[in-house]
Structure 1
Amino acid sequence: MSSKNTRAERRILIYSALLTLAFAVGGIALGHWVGSMVILFDGAYSLISLVLTLLSLLAATLIARPSSQRFPRGLAALEPIVIAIKATVILGLVCISIYSAIMAILDGGREINTFVATLFGLINVIGCAFGWALIAKKNQTVGSGLIQAEVLQWQMDTLISIAVLLGFISAWVLIQTPLAAFAVYADPVMMLLMAGYFLKVPVLMLKQALSELLNMTADHSLCSQVHQCVTELPAHKDVDLTVAAVTKVGSELRIDIDMRLEQQQLIAPKDIEQTRTQLNKKLNHLPYKCQLHLSLVG
């Protein structure tokens, strides 16, 4: 990632952290006031998101450092590590929320101030949608995995806020009917349905991060693009290029290529460097820092 993109990445993460702080304070304070576990969950999620965003900011700063003798391949692996931590924490919060919702239902539900809660829900939806759209748009030019994780967090927060708003509107409507006695179950049931639905978001984040940490093969689309670039390279009469492995670790794309020589043939060092230069030019359009490893195979 270029230094310009690195600076842009930091600015976006700082903006995300400040916006998250505002939602966290507002959600937790109002959740206590109106007695809504859903609003409390939303505030707690925002607070945890803030801590995780600060962790992402630290990781982005460390990743930007040049490789050293201690870390000869750089610190690109910090990105999937941070994403894995984020996914695990969010997954834990969702599981705790499911448990709390079940206990609230068994205890006879929870009464809430539906008017105040609905007003908060509307403001929250607008604010979260704005944050989600803005950060996603900015990441189109940066292409950062850390910011993409932020985008997923804001997407999840926006959808949570929409579910909260619809749930409070439903509770208010229910109070106006002969079924008003069941309105106390609206908050925990809404929490249960919402948390259950969003289980898949941190699970997918964790799966992707672990695949990178375990150096699993990159997704099919990336592999196809790399294979196409190698295929389009001008052929050398004595060398056959074969893609041995393509792995993605954070913002780095690590590509192992076998240079298979015909029997009794030699290749000049300048030809190897020329091949490396041509490959780098071909792969330059990919939104990753490509690391090429060329191996001579007899």
Structure 2
Amino acid sequence: MGIKEESAERERKTLRYSLMVATALAVLAAVWGWISQSQVILLDGVYALIGMVLTWMSLRVSRIADSGPTARFPFGKEALIPVVIAIQGMALLATLAYAAVEAVRVILAGGADVTAGSLAAYGAISAAVSVLIWRYVGKVDRTSDLLVAEARQWGASAAFSALVAVGAVVAMILGRTDFSDADRYVDSVLVLIGCAMLVPQPLALLRTALVELLEGAPSQQVQAHVHDAIAAVRDEFDLDEPALTMSKVGRKLYIEAMFMVPPHTWEIDDEDAVRRTFAKHLADLPYEPWLNIELTTDPALML
């Protein structure tokens, strides 16, 4: 099994584990939020539920993208990965917008009674679980766009749950002061603060997806690896700096490199040798390189 195949298998295994935990938390939040009539817990439950659906989509897309090219899709289906990440971002953004509007409505209606102790217990449990899964998912494979998106989601969930716990403590303190009536607004205020905290996460997902859908350049780390491979090829074959372009879609890395060479000194076999050497130096990347390596004697044809 190659590096790319091992990475894809780790990705799917991690997504399955994340899906199981997300399902359990979604059920817990829905039941707890309904019993306690807490907006903020219900929001966390809805957020977890949407995350669960999106994780399932990520798992499906990981399998589809790994199925390889077909007659109808000769370049494979890797573009599904940024599409799903964009859907994740839009769905989470819409959820936060709805929650914020609903929180404002409750505040204007005079707030709502919520048991602070229940909020604190839920927040502590959810935060602890989310932190554990966030750390686990984040360490498995930092080159997987789907796992990076999944880790961001768990990190945001951990921060949100911690906010719930802290807000509940504030509500308990207010209940023992002259501002005891203010605790009716704590739940909705927590929703608004949580929405503001979570907004950067779906925006980051949308930005990542947009860059890949527009065939943007890969990360600086990947670019550095490609430049190291170029340097090794140049040293071995005594070549000048090439015209180089690269982009990444999912786990597919597209690279075009054109080298200027003196006339009547290179043959097609030599170009094949350059291509094989370049591919060898990229073999330890967890991506599938699609290489277009050319040698030319005409400066006008340089990329």
Is contact 2:243–2:259 with CA below 8 Å preserved after alignment?
no
Shift of 1:4: 3.0
Is contact 2:114–2:184 with CA below 8 Å preserved after alignment?
yes
Q: Structure 2: which amino acid aligns with 1:139?
A: D
Show the 5 A alignment for 1:104-143: 104-139=106-141, 143=143
Structure 1 counterpart of 2:28: 26
When normalised by structure 2's length, the TM-score is 0.91
Q: Decide which of 2, 9, 13 is 2:11's aligned counterpart.
A: 9
Shift of 1:241: 4.7
Is contact 1:80–1:249 with CA below 8 Å preserved after alignment?
yes
Shift of 1:266: 5.2
Is contact 1:227–1:243 with CA below 8 Å preserved after alignment?
no
Corresponding position: 1:39 with 2:41: yes
**Secondary structure, counterpart of 1:232 in structure 2:** helix
**Secondary structure, counterpart of 1:292 in structure 2:** strand
Count residues in correspondence: 294
Cα deviation 1:49-83 (Å, max 9, x = unaligned): 11101101110110111212211111111111111
Structure 2 counterpart of 1:294: 293
Shift of 1:286: 2.9
Show the 5 A alignment for 1:87-166: 87-139=89-141, 143-166=143-166
Could you tell me how far apart the structure 1 residues matched to 2:130 and 2:104 are?
27
Could you tell me how far apart the structure 1 residues matched to 2:250 and 2:105 are?
40
Q: Structure 2: which amino acid aligns with 1:213?
A: L
Q: Structure 2: which amino acid aligns with 1:236?
A: F
**Secondary structure, counterpart of 2:242 in structure 1:** strand
Range that drifts further, 88-97 or 216-225? 216-225
Could you tell me how far apart the structure 1 residues matched to 2:36 and 2:252 are?
47
The Cα RMSD (Å) is 1.7
Cα deviation 1:70-122 (Å, max 9, x = unaligned): 11111111111111111111111111111112222111112101112211111
Corresponding position: 1:277 with 2:276: yes
When normalised by structure 1's length, the TM-score is 0.93
Could you tell me how far apart the structure 2 residues matched to 1:242 and 1:188 are?
58
Structure 2 counterpart of 1:189: 189
Q: Structure 2: which amino acid aligns with 1:207?
A: R
Is contact 2:271–2:294 with CA below 8 Å preserved after alignment?
no
Could you tell me how far apart the structure 2 residues matched to 1:53 and 1:61 are?
13
**Secondary structure, counterpart of 2:218 in structure 1:** coil
Q: Structure 2: which amino acid aligns with 1:47?
A: L
Structure 2 counterpart of 1:80: 82
Structure 2 counterpart of 1:58: 60
Is contact 2:4–2:286 with CA below 8 Å preserved after alignment?
no
Shift of 1:137: 2.5
Shift of 1:235: 5.1
Corresponding position: 1:219 with 2:225: no
Q: Structure 2: which amino acid aligns with 1:209?
A: A
**Secondary structure, counterpart of 1:178 in structure 2:** coil
Structure 1 counterpart of 2:237: 236
Is contact 2:64–2:77 with CA below 8 Å preserved after alignment?
yes
Q: Structure 2: which amino acid aligns with 1:3?
A: E
Structure 1 counterpart of 2:174: 174
Shift of 1:232: 3.0
Could you tell me how far apart the structure 1 residues matched to 2:241 and 2:76 are?
27
Corresponding position: 1:210 with 2:239: no
Shift of 1:153: 0.9
**Secondary structure, counterpart of 1:2 in structure 2:** helix
Q: Structure 2: which amino acid aligns with 1:228?
A: D
Structure 2 counterpart of 1:255: 255
Cα deviation 1:175-196 (Å, max 9, x = unaligned): 1111101111111111111101
